[in-house]
Chains A and B, each alone.
Chain A
Amino acid sequence: MSEGRDRWRDGGEDRSGEPGDPDSGGALLASLTLPNVLRDPRVVIARRDVASLSREKTIVLALFIQLFVAAFSSFLVVGLTSLYDPGSVSGTQVVVGVSGEHTDALIEAAEEQDGVRAVGFSTNEEARGAYVDGELNAALLTTDSEGRITVEVLAPEENIRTTLIVTEIRDLLEAVERNERIARAGSLDRQTVPVPGEVDASPYFGFTYTVLVPLLLFLPPFISGSIAVDAFTEEVERGTMELLRVAPVTLVDIVDGKAMGMIAIAPLQAALWILLLGFNGIQVANPLSLLVVVSAFATVVVVVGLLLGILTGTRRQAQLLYSVVVLLVFGTLVFLPEHPATTVAKLAVDSPTTLTFAHVAGYAVAAVALYLLARAVTRRTDPEAL
């Protein structure tokens, strides 16, 4: 049986590679030409599985989702972050009415701030009236209490601009607070640290690289794993596994082939993501290391899925256990010195440390070890029991 398999693998042409022949090593190397590799049963199975994905056109769905989200990555990021930092998005000015005993301090601080235009009023009632009439975006009514400046802020409710207005007012009042602290430095025990100047920066930067990029890169492995479970158990349930085993392949070859196919599509999708993000203006650094991480995770997840498929044999149980086990495994990753999402973020933003690269190497080693373990388990499984 194994002789037949070897001959199959050699393509049937080169007969010098008989098992036990001292020259079989060289023959093996010679047989690694592309046509022979493509005829390797494992590669055939892998190609068949991936081709069925494209024939079913469901991969189109996955690519569609990815395209949609990637094309929108900048749009989404702008939308979401503008909600907590709206001053960065809008270029308009907020008109604020100031009144009361500390009007001067506020107007002085407002002159330094571009997004605010302060209008002075002589009494608090005047300012309030002007606000209610709609002449102002907000009103700041100041009074003095126990040596502190008490500011009553009137802001519009349930308005899209409320977020922007409140943020600008907060910046203004923080500036006033800083000035006052410096003025009263004599009564303070501790000195405040001088605040660096304002820099015109993109506020979406952090969010994009720490949340969006890891999310997009970890999605393909999870999908791959789930499909791997289905690919195996569905064949068992429909009865086509018996047909496959009639071919001169062992169970290990079948598992190899299915794993190969599912693992290969994950870094391909990740690479597509990285390209699309690049088109959207989000540069991702260290792409090769990132693809290694994605492949390692895909390997782990696919191997877990296939193992569960072999051990349980039914789709429903395999899927249930897969979801739970994968959650558990990735839960434990939190205790690593560096969280995988952080690893991806640091690689993407180009701040990798030796620890980061150590983690990447660690993931790769773990993936290979798990794969070999899976092969060992499969070799010991009785195919008839499926």
Chain B
Amino acid sequence: MAADDGDGGDGDERRGRLGRLRVRAGDLWAWSRERADNVPRIARWEVTKNAGGADRRTIAVALLAIVGIAILVPLAAGHGVALDEGIYRVGVSEESPLYEPVAADSTFAIQEPSPSAVRADRQDVLVRGAQVRRIADSQKGRAAASELRATVESYNDALMDEEDNVSAAFPVVVNLTYVEQDAARTLAVGDTDEETLESGSGGDGTGSETDGGAGTGDGGGTGDGDGTAGGANGGDSADGGDGGGSDSQGTTGGGTSLTERLTGGSGSGAPSDISPPFPFRSLVLAFVFVLPLNFVIQAYGSTILGERLNRRGELLLVSPVSRLDIVAGKTLPYFAGAMAVATLITVALQGSHVSVLAVAPLALLFLSATFLGAMFARSFKELTFVTVTITVSLTTYAFVPAIFTDVTPIALISPLTLVVRDLQGQAVGLGQFAFSTLPPTLTATVLFGLGLGLYREEDMFTQRPIPLKVLDALAAPLVRYRSVALVTAVLLPFVLVAELVVVALLFALGEASIPFILVAVAVIEELAKSLHVYAGYEHARYDRRAKTALILGFFSGLGFFVAEKFALIAQLVDLPEVPAGRAALESQATLGTGLPLPVVLVGLLFAPLVLHVVTAAISSLGASRGKRPYVVALAVAVVVHLAYNLTVVSLYV
């Protein structure tokens, strides 16, 4: 403790500052040491307690069942599952040339051709001779006819496979190359953007089509996971070359079931072999990463809720470890387990460390959401529902953007996109990695923080109503005036998500939904700016003077504004890549309001700030008075917000 007197000349002052810095560093070091001591110990207790929790009989039965499943899976895969077996009914007689293709495709159920049956909707397609004579007048009939056409086409391709005269059987050979437009350069051979695989002759060119057999196994280990020949851009081009490995025998006659059509595209061969870049197989494999997380959070949720039952967690709470230690120690084994499983899967799929690192924020997000859910749940039944909701929503978040991996860079909002790219053998830049993984990590931290606020006796062991618990969680981090700004900023991602969900829900209503969306957005934003202020007042963190309320309102509005602009900048990073983004950015320059550009810019920048501060201050003033004044003030703030939005809209229109 270098506590100098700190007065006198410059040298003394500097020593004083340095001394304080040294003290702070020392405190930090001690703090870290203590965490490093406590957290592993609690983690160890968590693991040993749980492992001892299941008795031998249970473990034996569970292992037996798992062995049963392990035996079952290859048998089931061999048996083959055609989900769309027999959904279309086709009337065709054995003499017709169309009989063979129809019989080979399990999607069709063959019946005696009968016009009356078609009229009565008991038959979908009627075939006489070599022609389709009748189609049932329904969506189903038309879908059946379209399916029949596709079946016959692939049957023909399989037929041509057996021809000796290759040039007559496959008279067209295709080489698909992806070339950038608006560029002066031409791509040299061997560039990673180009894929020019040789079509070869006859057989193996069409091998990729029959790789559909791998599709039905649903990525269960058939074929290679790499598809990385030459770092190709467009789908699983290696399937074309890998065709020899897959079993093409099973699909003669060209069944075109759903799963076969969804395999990744190849870039060359006969025309029916090319398909657009859609990394379906990589996507299914990426799904495999998310699946174990769902099981991990079941166990994690039940252990956290178990702490709250019968005051079991009280012992740890009264011990000299901090709440952070407890939560971190309890979470660590589950996080490590999830990472271990992810590593195993990555090794099995021949990915790289990028996949494992990309799954980490996802695992944290799942765990943090479950932690918060377990802190709020009042019974195990409730926890089941909460877990299911978390599973559904977070899996959707992870999965849906990744579908667009090859199409648009916005797909990067989901870390699974990184995994898909890695499995396809593409390089992932540091900027892309950061853009993908930072938001989920930050959100997970926020959720853990909110849950930590609830990790105390009043909230854990009682059946406190949920609204009160929400206020407890929000009030926990409020210490100073400017904490309010931090909490508002940190709540912004949830605001964005809520707004997205509202838009998605009201999307079905079409144009009529726009006023509802505007109102909903205003309500959500005002709530996010003021709810924690109200919580702070209810927990007596701040005094109830008007001046304090105005200061809090200012900080809240400022925090919201800064976070909003921050998020915008993050989007702007990748926006020029997307044509729509380019157009939007270009159109910003000319606004046609007749004012000079600097004034417009200042107006654009500071008008939102003024709005946020004013509305937050109004709600804050109401919150300082009590519950009912708060609700009234909130309504006023929403109206002000709406008025502002309408003004802005009318300015542009």
The range of chain A's interface size is 35 or more
Give 1 or 0 for each of A143-185: 1 = CB within 8 Å of chain B CB: 0011111111111111110111111011001101100110010
Q: Decide: A194 and B131 in contact? CB cutoff 8 A.
A: yes
Does A264 reach chain B (CB closer than 8 Å)? no
Residues of B within 8 A of A202 (CB): 139, 142-143
How many contacts between A and B, using CB within 8 angstroms?
A: 333
CB neighbours (8 Å) of A233 from chain B are 380
List chain B residues, Cβ under 8 A from A345: 83-84, 87
Q: Of A16-24, A93-101, A309-317, A375-383, which stretch is located at the interface?
A: A309-317
Interface residues of B in 157-206 (CB under 8 A from A): 159-160, 162-165, 167-184, 186, 193
Q: Is A35 an interface residue (CB 8 A)?
A: no
Contact A173 B172 (CB under 8 A): yes
Q: Say yes or no: is A15 at the interface (Cβ < 8 Å to chain B).
A: no
Given contacts A173-B271, A351-B88, contact A163 B392 (CB under 8 A): no
Chain A 233-259 residues near chain B, CB threshold 8 A: 233-234, 237-238
* Pairwise interchain contact B62-A334, C-beta atoms closer than 8 A: no
Q: Which of B383-442 contact A (CB under 8 A)?
A: 383-386, 388-389, 392-393, 403, 406-409
Cβ < 8 Å to A, chain B residues 275-296: 275-278, 280, 295
- A314 CB contacts on chain B under 8 angstroms: 53
CB of B120 to closest CB in A, whole Å: 12
| Chain B residues, Cβ within 8 Å of A193 | 97-98, 100-101, 130, 152, 155-156, 159
Which residues on A sit within 8 Å (CB–CB) of B147?
206
Q: Which residues of B contact A69 (CB under 8 A)?
A: 392
In the complex, what residue of chain B is closest to A280 when comparing beta carbons? B508
Residues A199 and B145 in contact, CB atoms below 8 Å apart: yes
Confirm or deny: A372 has a beta carbon within 8 angstroms of a beta carbon on chain B: no
The residues of B that contact A34 with a CB separation of less than 8 Å are none
Most buried by A among B160, B174, B276: B276
| Contact of A320 with B169 in the complex, beta carbons under 8 Å | no
Query: Is A157 a contact of B193 with CB atoms below 8 Å?
Result: yes
Chain A residues with Cβ under 8 A from B393's Cβ? 65
Known: A181-B171, A334-B81. A166 touches B265 (CB 8 A): yes
Tell me the nearest residue of chain B to A325, going by C-beta: B65
CB of A206 within 8 A of CB of B165, answer no
Contact, CB under 8 Å: A319 / B302? yes
What's the least CB distance linking B479 to chain A, in Å?
33
The distance in angstroms between the C-alpha atoms of A149 and B171, with both chains bound, is: 6
A331:B72 contact, CB within 8 angstroms: yes
Shortest Cβ distance from B177 into A: residue: A154
Docked complex Cα distance between A58 and B275 (Å):
44
What are the residues of chain A within 8 A of B68 when measuring CB–CB? 328, 331
Q: At the interface, yes or no: B457 with Cβ under 8 Å from chain A? A: no
With A160-B408, A324-B66 as contacts: A198 and B149 at CB distance below 8 Å = yes
Q: Which residues of B contact A59 (CB under 8 A)?
A: 385
Which candidate, A39-47, A207-215, A293-301, A357-365, is the interface stretch facing chain B?
A: A207-215
Given the interface contacts A160-B407, A162-B407, does A351 sit within 8 Å of B87 by beta carbon? Answer: yes
Q: Which of B124-150 contact A (CB under 8 A)?
A: 124, 130-132, 135, 139-140, 142-143, 145-149
Q: Give the distance to chain A from B189, nearest Cβ to Cβ, in Å.
A: 13
- Known contacts: A166-B274, A177-B270, A328-B72. The answer to whether A223 contacts B388 by CB under 8 A is yes
Residues in chain A near residue B98, CB distance under 8 A: 193, 196
A59 closest partner in B (C-beta): B385
Contact A176 B298, CB 8 Å, known A227-B381, A342-B85: no
Q: How far is the CA of A169 from the CA of B180 in the complex (A)?
A: 18
For chain A residues 69-118, which have a beta carbon within 8 Å of chain B?
Answer: 69, 71-72, 75, 80, 83-84, 86
Is A33 an interface residue when CB atoms closer than 8 A count as contact? no
In Å, the complex CA distance between A181 and B159 comes to 12
Tell me if B258 and A211 are in contact (CB < 8 A).
yes
Measured between beta carbons, the chain A residues less than 8 angstroms from B183 are 132
Most B C-beta atoms less than 10 A away, residue of A68, A80, A196, A315: A196
Check A324–B62 contact: CB distance below 8 A.
yes
Per-residue CB proximity of A52-63 to B under 8 Å, as 1/0?
A: 110010110110
Told that A157-B193, A181-B156, A205-B143 touch, could you supply 8 new A-B pairs with CB distance under 8 A?
A: A62-B389, A84-B278, A148-B167, A189-B165, A193-B159, A194-B152, A195-B152, A342-B85
